[in-house]
Structure 1
Amino acid sequence: MEQTAQKVLSKKNLKQKVIEWQSQNLKVVFSNGCFDILHLGHIDYLEKASAQGDKLVIGLNSDNSVRLLKGENRPINNEEARARMLAALAFVDGVAVFDEETPKELIEYLLPNVLVKGSDYNVENIVGAKSVIANGGTVNTIDLVDGYSTTSIIEKIKK
């Protein structure tokens, strides 16, 4: 098994992996998120995402990106820690950090075969969906596990 740090890649190196895998007729699945405090909801979601193809790659919001989305007190774990935790999951094949508010540029750069988000999104509103579909790929949503979110975990800890 690859060491976790070897699965955390620059955008350019992840693109090379995606090209290599696709040239071997492997289906590459992409998802993204902050994954600040890894919990059952994340594991369930990513496991289901990985089942939609042969290789799962994750776009991880940078610390700056998380702050823009979640506020000044986030993230709890820095991007290096979050990337390594995701890379430690057996069903994750690559992780790249992106600094923008959305992963649109990363998705358009990688052009995965499958783009996956939670069912709290409508396919037509998923960032990067048009590019993936235009490239012959598919966009799918996955039902989330009720009762699990990083925000709710943080609130529980505060009590």
Structure 2
Amino acid sequence: MKFDIQTKIFTDFESFEPTLKKWRAQGDSVVFTNGCFDIIHHGHVDSLLKSSALGTHLIVGLNSDESVTLLKGRGRPVLNVDARASLLAAFVFVDAVIIFPEETPARLIKQIVPDVLVKGKEYELHEIAGHETVLQNNGKVERLDLVSGISTSELIARIKNLD
């Protein structure tokens, strides 16, 4: 079986909306998580896999290159948005990747209104963008344990220190 991962990548909500409407009409549940996903590692895979188990479809909100630079600083992202989106879309447990230009996905979450919103436990509930939208619509906010000892920033630092 061949996969066309590009069909899972959306540059805005409007291009994704017909897919969402189809899923909703089928009675499917929607899980949403987001991040920069710059240099994907096993911690990302673990959280995405756990997120996908919380509903029928997993949507990943992906920060644009410009928003990653604002959040992480000069020199980031290491991989451009097209590469990051393709890597995420290649996972069979990711159903859609939607690129967003803002620093947080709050606007995108208001448009999608997921049944489940997922972030890591390093965030308190009040720090999770879009949590109000989800809770006001009878959804759930899940905070997952992270894989300890791994982060993209740490990986970049280790790579810079290689001899």
Normalised-by-shorter TM-score class: over 0.9
Query: Given the two structures, how large is their TM-score scaled by the length of structure 1?
Result: 0.97
Partner of 1:48: 50
Cα distance in 2 for residues equivalent to 1:15 and 1:143: 31
Q: Secondary structure at the match of 2:117?
A: strand
What is the aligned counterpart of 1:155 among 146, 157, 160?
A: 157
Asked whether 1:5 is paired with 2:29, we answer no
* Residue correspondences, number: 159
**How far apart are 1:13 and its partner, in Å?**
2.5
Range 11-20 or range 88-97, more displaced: 11-20
Matched residue type, 2:80 = N
Matched residue type, 1:144 = L
Cα distance in 1 for residues equivalent to 2:152 and 2:19: 30
Task: Map 1:12-23 onto structure 2 (within 5 A).
Answer: 12-23=14-25
Partner of 1:108: 110
**How far apart are 1:22 and its partner, in Å?**
1.7
Q: Secondary structure at the match of 2:108?
A: helix
Matched residue type, 1:107 = I
**How far apart are 1:19 and its partner, in Å?**
2.1
Matched residue type, 1:4 = I
Partner of 1:99: 101
Cα distance in 2 for residues equivalent to 1:2 and 1:91: 13
In structure 1, list runs of 5 or more residues that go unmatched: none
Share of identical aligned residues, percent? 47
Cα distance in 1 for residues equivalent to 2:88 and 2:72: 19
Partner of 1:33: 35
Query: Given the two structures, how large is their TM-score scaled by the length of structure 2?
Result: 0.94
In structure 2, list runs of 5 or more residues that go unmatched: none
Task: Map 1:74-93 onto structure 2 (within 5 A).
Answer: 74-93=76-95
Aligned-pair Cα RMSD in Å: 1.0
Matched residue type, 1:5 = Q
Cα distance in 1 for residues equivalent to 2:66 and 2:93: 27
After the TM superposition, which segments of 4 or more aligned residues of structure 1 sit over 6 Å from their partners? none
Cα distance in 2 for residues equivalent to 1:125 and 1:155: 26
Cα distance in 1 for residues equivalent to 2:17 and 2:137: 15
Do 1:113 and 1:132's aligned partners in 2 also have CA atoms closer than 8 Å? yes
